[in-house]
Amino acid sequence: MSEPAKAGSLLGTLNNEGGSSARLETRVLELRPYEPSGYLRDALRLQPGQRVWRLRRLRLLDGAPAVVESSLIPIVLAPELDQLVGRLAGSLYDLLASEYGLADAFEEQYLEVIGPTKEEARLLGLRARAQAVRIRGMSATATGIAFDCFEQLYSADQFAFAFSGSASRRLLPVPGRLDWGVA
């Protein structure tokens, strides 16, 4: 079970899956600077021309693909993140808190069931026409600094999700077809 509504909890919930001793492994697929879409630039409160790090990781449980994770982090908030790539196999949020003072105080998320792209299906080892659960969200500090627009993709038949939260949204509008792209 994963608790996506618990800020920065993916590593902990995967590592403690129902009290099991599953071996968790993380592969960094990409860490590069990108220009965020207009929507993401506004959500992260960036100025035109400010870029984000796009960090993509694959999480494996006992050697089997479990989650594809993407994080978009403003370069202005974590300027040397690319020099810390050796530490990105652990908790990203622990790293951001210790290196840059970016401690997650709250986040908002949207969950949807989708047909994954061919690349996503390949990374997760999904068969043709299999469904995936996509969680998109944003994390912010206690002072309201949005520091991560994230996406997690799970095989729809591999996980159960637990949610709890507050009664009001602070960060994200209703998702619809918002442009979460980078260039």
Helix (H, G, I), strand (E, B) or coil at 112: strand
Give the chain's mean pLDDT: 85
Domain 10-155: homologous superfamily in CATH: Chorismate lyase-like (3.40.1410.10)
Question: HSE on the CB side for 22, CA within 13 Å?
Answer: 22
Residue pair 54/79 in contact (Cβ under 8 Å)? The answer is no
Classify 125 in phi/psi space as left (phi over 0), alpha (psi -120 to 50) or beta: left
43-94, pLDDT tens digit by residue? 999 999 999 999 999 999 999 999 999 999 999 999 999 999 899 988 999 9
% of the chain residues with pLDDT over 90: 65
Geometric angle at alpha carbon 92, from 15 and 115, rounded to 5°: 70
Average confidence (pLDDT) over 143-151: 95
Domain spans of the chain, in order of start: 10-155
β-sheet bridge partners, residue 150: 71, 137
Phi-psi region of 156 (alpha: psi -120 to 50; beta: other; left: phi over 0): alpha
CA geometry: angle 17, 116, 16, nearest 5 deg: 5
